[in-house]
């Protein structure tokens, strides 16, 4: 079996709500989902998800190769771009190709990827994470109520700029999920919006009112010294890593004792996740994948010994993707379809998933000019006024 070509497609995920975080909120309810299809000479095709704008540059590293050599091909792709480096969009492209290679390898074996990787169980424990910063309090309760209906006992809230807004919203999430657990796990994600002093004060104020399981990205992703110092000032675990691209970016954080929970982005591929999970395991640390559409890393998460929990951002999938997963009992139940379990209906998609998406002037992808420099929580366009909350049934 040889790789012969690729097709690049684009679809959207319709959230049915606005998504965002403390840095900004999307202006529309849909977000783009790039889809990469790897073609072979035997008719099998592999599916990879995520931005892959550098595919024309990276694809020659795998062209004509046997996709079952996926680990060696991953290193070949890294070597292919070593002069200019593999971070950023290049790493995302490598991740999308890597995902498609693993999909092909498992399809060739006639097995779901979780089984081929050696997992014993198809169930992946998860936590609800609705990217809900732009929702009203009532919409927040309704959203997490839908997660609670699927058995979720843990949830994460976005925030970090207005304590008076965040505290009652944390309690809403806790109270909704309490139907499934007398002590649900509650996490808080500041998305790198604080400096060190702000983080210490903000988390201390939250912890005076409720118990936090972890605080996520309280400081910039590379601040090993700051994160390590913060660990000694708060009770909550420190979680970070979703934006790190390569083992070399994790090593300073782990060497400094900066993390309690090692996070990995779905969009960086299967091999990257497996390697980071092994590195974390060697430091006696748990690993937790940060979600992306269709949760492809869940297959690998099921197979590692130090999985803590997998982020679940939505209970349905992008347009044109038939994904062999269910959400129940507070997690992801993987199916038996060979590969990563995704069927692609190209009639519902557009060509050109490699095209750069024109970013809006604001949103969660844009760091505000005054991030980590605000003395008070001035109102601005991303503030959402609180509304009276109906009792949760």
Instruction: Please tell me the class of the 118-338 domain.
Output: alpha beta
- pLDDT below 70 — which residues of the chain? 353-361, 378-393
Q: In what order do the strands lie in the sheet with 3-14?
A: 45-49, 30-40, 3-14, 350-351
Cβ distance 169 to 140 under 8 Å?
Answer: yes
pLDDT of residue 392: 42
Buried-state track 299-325, b at ≥16 Cβ within 10 A, e below 16: bbbbbbebbbbbbbbbeebbebbebbb
Give the whole-angstrom CA distance, residue 357 versus residue 251: 32
Give the whole-angstrom CA distance, residue 13 versus residue 29: 8
Q: Token pair of 82, please?
A: 């070593």
pLDDT of residue 85: 87
- pLDDT tens readout for residues 213-252: 999 999 999 999 999 999 999 999 999 999 999 999 999 9
Sign of the torsion angle spanned by Cα atoms 111, 112, 117, 123: negative
The superfamily in CATH containing domain 3-114 is Enolase-like, N-terminal domain (3.30.390.10)
Count the Cβ atoms, other than its own, within 10 Å of residue 178: 14
Instruction: For 98-153, give the secondary structure using H, E and C.
Output: HHHHHHHHHHHHCCEHHHHCCCCCCEEEEEEECCECCCCHHHHHHHHHHHHHCCCC
H or E element that contains 197: helix 196-207
Residue 16, judged by CB atoms within 10 A of its CB (0-12, 13-18, 19+), counts as exposed
DSSP code per residue over 75-92: HHHHHHTTTT-S-THHHH
Q: Where are the beta strands (DSSP E) in the chain?
A: 3-14, 20-21, 24-25, 30-40, 45-49, 123-129, 154-158, 185-189, 214-216, 237-240, 261-265, 287-290, 310-312, 321-323, 325-328, 331-334, 342-344, 350-351
pLDDT of residue 376: 81
pLDDT of residue 381: 44
Give the whole-angstrom CA distance, residue 200 versus residue 198: 6
Give the whole-angstrom CA distance, residue 339 versus residue 108: 8
Nearest partner of 156 among 164, 144, 145, judged by Cα: 144
Residue 368, judged by CB atoms within 10 A of its CB (0-12, 13-18, 19+), counts as middle
Q: What is the CA radius of gyration of the chain?
A: 20
Nearest partner of 130 among 15, 49, 12, judged by Cα: 15
Give the whole-angstrom CA distance, residue 280 versus residue 282: 5
Domain ranges of the chain: 3-114, 118-338
- Percent helix, percent strand, percent coil in the chain, to nearest 5: 30, 20, 45
- The model's pTM: 0.94
Q: Token pair of 160, please?
A: 């970090």
Determine the distance from the C-alpha atom of residue 189 to the mean position of all C-alpha atoms in its chain, rounded to a whole number: 12
Residue 207, judged by CB atoms within 10 A of its CB (0-12, 13-18, 19+), counts as middle
């Amino acid at each position: 079996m040889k790789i012969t070509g690729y097709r690049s497609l684009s679809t959207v995920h319709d959230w049915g709500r606005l998504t965002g975080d403390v840095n900004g909120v999307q202006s529309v309810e849909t977000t783009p989902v790039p889809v990469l299809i790897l073609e072979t000479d035997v008719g099998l095709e592999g599916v990879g998800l995520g931005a892959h704008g550098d595919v024309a540059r990276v694809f020659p590293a795998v062209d004509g190769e046997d996709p079952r050599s996926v680990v060696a091909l991953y290193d070949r792709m890294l070597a292919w771009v070593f002069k200019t480096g593999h971070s950023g969009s290049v790493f995302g492209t490598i991740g999308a190709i890597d995902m498609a290679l693993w999909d092909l390898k498992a399809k060739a074996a006639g097995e779901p990827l979780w089984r081929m990787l050696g997992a014993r169980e198809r169930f992946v424990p998860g936590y609800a994470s609705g990217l809900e910063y732009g929702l009203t309090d009532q919409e927040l309760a309704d959203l997490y109520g839908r997660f609670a209906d699927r058995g979720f006992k843990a949830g994460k809230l976005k925030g970090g700029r207005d304590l008076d807004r965040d505290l009652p919203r944390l309690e809403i999430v806790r109270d909704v999920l309490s139907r499934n657990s007398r002590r649900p796990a509650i996490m808080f994600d500041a998305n790198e919006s604080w400096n060190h002093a702000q983080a210490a004060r903000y988390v201390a104020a939250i912890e005076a009112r409720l118990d936090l399981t972890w605080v996520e990205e309280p400081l910039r992703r590379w601040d090993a010294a700051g994160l390590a110092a913060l660990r000694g000032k708060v009770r909550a675990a420190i979680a970070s890593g979703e934006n790190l691209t390569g083992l070399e970016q994790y090593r300073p954080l782990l060497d400094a004792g900066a993390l309690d929970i090692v996070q990995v982005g779905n969009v960086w591929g299967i091999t990257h996740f497996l390697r980071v999970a092994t590195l974390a395991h060697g430091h006696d640390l748990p690993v937790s994948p940060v979600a992306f559409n269709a949760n492809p890393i869940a297959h690998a998460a099921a197979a590692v010994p130090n999985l803590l929990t997998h982020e679940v951002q939505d209970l349905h999938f992008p347009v044109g993707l038939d994904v062999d997963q269910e959400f129940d009992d507070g997690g992801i139940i993987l199916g038996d379809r060979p590969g990563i379990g995704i069927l692609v209906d190209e009639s519902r998609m557009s060509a050109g998933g490699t095209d750069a998406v024109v970013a809006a002037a604001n949103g969660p992808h844009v760091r505000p000019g005054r991030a980590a420099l605000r003395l008070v929580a001035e109102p601005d366009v991303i503030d959402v006024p609180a509304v009276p909350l109906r009792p949760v049934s």
